Amino acid sequence: MRLYPIEVAFLSLTRYRSLSLPQKDIPSTWYSTDSPSSIHDFYSTADVVVNTLPATSATELYVNAEAFKSMKNSAIYVSIGRGQTTDQDALIEALQNALKPLTGEEKEGDLLISGSSLDVTVPEPLGKDSPLYTLPNVVLTPHMSGMSSQYFVRAMELFAQNLDRVVVKGEGGLNAVRGKGE
C-alpha cells in the first residue's frame, strides 16, 4: 500500500465474523457490527470514515446522529455507497456545528465533524436549496466516483464470474446484496 510510509492504519467495520480474505495487514483492525461498543470504538478511532454500504432495510440511516457523535470532531465522512444509509439531517447539523466559532467547550461526543465528501445523497440530485451546496466543509461529486478507465473491464469480469457461478454451478453471485450471494 502506498500509504504505509505515512503510517496510515486501515480499519474495517463489518458484519462478517470471518472473511475468506488473504491474511494480510489490511485492514489492521476489524470491528464488528454485532456490538454497539465495537461500532462506537470504530467511529471514535477513525480519522476518515468511508461509507460504502448498499441500500437495504438493515442499512437505512445506519450512519446517524449517534454515529456522528461517536466520531472524532476532526473526522471526515466520505459516502460513496448509497445515500439512504446516511442520516443527512444529522450530517448537515454536524457539519454546520464545525463552522461555529470555537468556544473551548467542544468535546468528543458532540454532534460535530470537520468535513465530508459525498458522492451519494438523498435525493439525487439534491434540491436547489440543500445546505450541502453552500457548506464550505463539503465536497459534492455527481455519483460517479467509481468510474475509471478499468470500470467496464472489471464489471464484465465480475459478470462472467457470476454467470458461471449462478447459471452453471448453482452458487451464489459475488457482491450480491439481496438474495443468494456471497
Task: Enumerate the active-site residues.
Answer: 82, 124, 143
**Three cell numbers written together for 30:** 476489524
Residues of 111-127 as b/e, b for ≥16 C-beta within 10 angstroms?
bbbbbbbbbbbeeeebe
Grid cell of 121 as nine digits = 445523497
Beta-carbon contacts of 53 under 8 Å, excluding residues fewer than 6 positions away, are 59, 62, 63, 81, 82, 85
Residue 182 contacts residue 173 (beta carbons within 8 Å): yes
| Cell numbers at 142, concatenated | 455527481
Instruction: Show Cβ contacts of residue 11 under 8 Å, excluding neighbours closer than 6 positions.
Output: 27, 28, 29, 30, 31, 42, 45, 46
H-assigned helices in 31-179: 36-45, 65-70, 88-98, 151-163
